[in-house]
């Protein structure tokens, strides 16, 4: 992760229900405009990742998987909502508009983070850090970082302290999903008339795709290095697709029969099950993680999200809607982008701190960077910049990419001599 997602945020606003005349069992995305509990769930996910990367919570890596499921649920829900609203005109989904919204949501913060990190590594990092950052940056911007790390045999679980962009593999997985999955949806919902039939097709394809992705993970699993199956888009797609499945009307109708009270109880049970798994997991050493464990985790998360979408006022929904968790959820994307470069550059040697004291400093600096990114970059482009749309938006995006390319070209590549060998590449700690 991711990622996030970090994953993308749903439209801002307060929680609203449609009039009571809305049909029972309708899709959760048609019943609610904004679900505060899902913001809180994003907050839990990013907090787990931050603590995992700080070496304080061995199961926190599962926050990335939770991000994937949330992203699949929210994005598919928004696209299906658009198809339902236009079913009289053959269920039209405007792909260009969708991709434009994704670009405005994700690209500005990513470009600024990459540029800022390159400058910070040039000013503060050693030779290996600078060189690795320059090597990885083009793949990050192209949203192919995960395949680059796989080809480079940069093991995820033994990631070197020179890789300031190693966490962006999950952002690449999500971006690739955002590019491909909407194309399938356009084909599956095409044709006017009965939208439920179209959504049954979507549900069937999402379920089949998730099963295929699980099969690929089982076949391609390497007992020595799990990076291929952990970072591969094909082997992690099941998390996004299970989230997509949970956003369809067939699943919504099944859950709608249980009633809000029962769904609230189910959400609490599912949330407790996830918590137990998180607290007993131990990175890649988790028993059965790549033999169905991650799939079961994603399936549980998808059911939890669907229950929260239907019954957000249950016990767990109210707890997740608490302001601190919601605040973390709102910041989750920029927080995910910035936290790992902060962790790498503020090393134990540089800070002179270890343990929870260093973790507290890292969290504070990461939160400050994320808040500045949201206030100065993300929100202005998303909500107040009229020029960010249409041709001017495309021109601005191209100009930003050209500026980033110029920075990448101008920064000098350090020459690594015998005295600057990156020993962490030879003996990497299992810190991630």
Higher pLDDT, 167 or 7: 167
- The pLDDT assigned to 179 comes to 96
Contact 256, 185 (CB under 8 A): no
Please report whether residue 430 resides in a domain.
no
Q: Position of tokens 């992705």?
A: 213
Count structural domains, the chain: 1
> Is residue 238 situated within a structural domain?
yes
Average pLDDT over residues 12-35: 43
Residue 160 has pLDDT above 80, yes or no: no
Sign, Cα dihedral of 277, 281, 287, 293: positive
Whose tokens are 């109880």? That residue is 265
Say if 422 falls within a structural domain.
no
Residue 338 forms part of a structural domain: yes
How far apart CA 145 and CA 398 sit, in angstroms, is 20
Confidence grade of residue 90 (pLDDT, cut at 50, 70, 90):
low
Please tell me whether residue 284 adopts helix, strand or coil conformation.
Answer: strand
- Kindly report which listed range (57-66, 282-291, 402-411, 413-422) carries the lowest average pLDDT score: 413-422
Query: What local confidence, expressed as pLDDT, does residue 34 receive?
Result: 80
By the 8 A CB rule, do 137 and 148 touch? no
- The answer, yes or no, to whether residue 134 has pLDDT greater than 80, is yes
Let me know if residue 18 belongs to a domain: no
Considering the chain, what percentage of its residues have pLDDT values greater than 90?
66
In the predicted model, is pLDDT for residue 427 greater than 70? no
pLDDT, tens digit, 9 for 90 and up, residues 169-227: 999 999 999 999 999 999 998 765 567 788 999 999 999 999 999 999 999 998 888 88
Residue 156, pLDDT score: 74
Closest listed residue to residue 71, CA positions, set 150, 172, 220: 172
Question: Quick check: is 395 in a domain?
Answer: yes
Asked, for residue 82, whether it belongs to a domain, the answer is yes
Tell me if 428 is assigned to some domain. no
- Return the pLDDT at 40: 96
The residue range of the domain holding 365 is 31-413
Q: Identify the H or E element spanning 169.
A: helix 169-189
To the nearest whole number, what is the mean pLDDT of the chain? 86
**What is the residue whose two structure tokens read 């549980």?**
300
Quick one: average pLDDT of 147-173?
A: 86
pLDDT in tens, 385-425: 887 788 888 898 999 999 999 999 999 998 765 444 443 44
């Amino acid at each position: 992760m991711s990622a996030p997602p970090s994953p993308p945020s749903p439209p801002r606003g307060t929680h609203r229900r449609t009039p009571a005349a809305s049909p029972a069992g309708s899709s959760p995305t048609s019943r609610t405009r904004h679900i505060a509990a899902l913001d809180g769930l994003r907050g839990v996910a990013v907090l787990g990742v931050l603590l995992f990367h700080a070496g304080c919570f061995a199961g926190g890596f599962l926050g990335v998987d939770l991000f994937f499921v949330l992203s699949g649920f929210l994005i598919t829900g928004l696209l299906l909502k658009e198809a339902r609203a236009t079913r009289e005109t053959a269920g039209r989904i405007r792909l260009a508009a969708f991709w434009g919204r994704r670009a405005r949501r994700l690209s500005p913060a990513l470009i600024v983070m990459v540029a800022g990190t390159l400058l910070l590594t040039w000013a503060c990092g050693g030779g290996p850090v600078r060189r690795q950052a320059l090597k990885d940056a083009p793949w990050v911007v192209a949203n192919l970082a995960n395949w680059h790390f796989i080809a480079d045999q940069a093991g995820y679980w033994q990631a070197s302290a020179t890789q300031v962009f190693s966490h962006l593999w999950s952002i690449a997985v999500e971006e690739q999903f955002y590019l491909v999955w909407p194309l399938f949806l356009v084909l599956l919902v095409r044709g006017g008339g009965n939208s439920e039939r179209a959504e049954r097709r979507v549900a069937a394809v999402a379920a089949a795709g998730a099963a295929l992705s699980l099969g690929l993970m089982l076949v391609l699993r390497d007992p020595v290095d799990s990076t291929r199956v952990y970072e591969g888009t094909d082997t992690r797609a099941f998390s996004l697709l299970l989230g997509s499945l949970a956003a369809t009307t067939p699943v919504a109708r099944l859950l709608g029969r249980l009633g809000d009270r029962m769904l609230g109880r189910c959400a609490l049970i599912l949330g407790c099950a996830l918590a137990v798994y998180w607290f007993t997991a131990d990175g890649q050493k988790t028993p059965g993680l790549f033999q169905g464990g991650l799939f079961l985790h994603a399936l549980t998360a998808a059911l939890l999200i669907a229950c929260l979408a239907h019954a957000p006022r249950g016990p767990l929904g109210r707890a997740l809607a608490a302001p601190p968790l919601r605040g973390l959820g709102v910041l989750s994307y920029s927080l995910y982008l910035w936290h790992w470069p902060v962790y790498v550059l503020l090393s134990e040697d540089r800070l002179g701190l270890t343990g929870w004291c260093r973790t507290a400093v890292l969290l504070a600096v990461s939160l400050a960077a994320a808040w500045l990114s949201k206030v100065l970059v993300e929100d202005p482009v998303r909500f107040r910049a009229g020029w960010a749309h249409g041709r001017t938006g495309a021109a601005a995006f191209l100009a930003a990419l050209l500026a980033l390319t110029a920075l990448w070209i101008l920064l000098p590549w350090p020459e690594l001599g015998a005295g600057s060998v990156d020993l962490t590449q030879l003996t990497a700690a299992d810190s991630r």
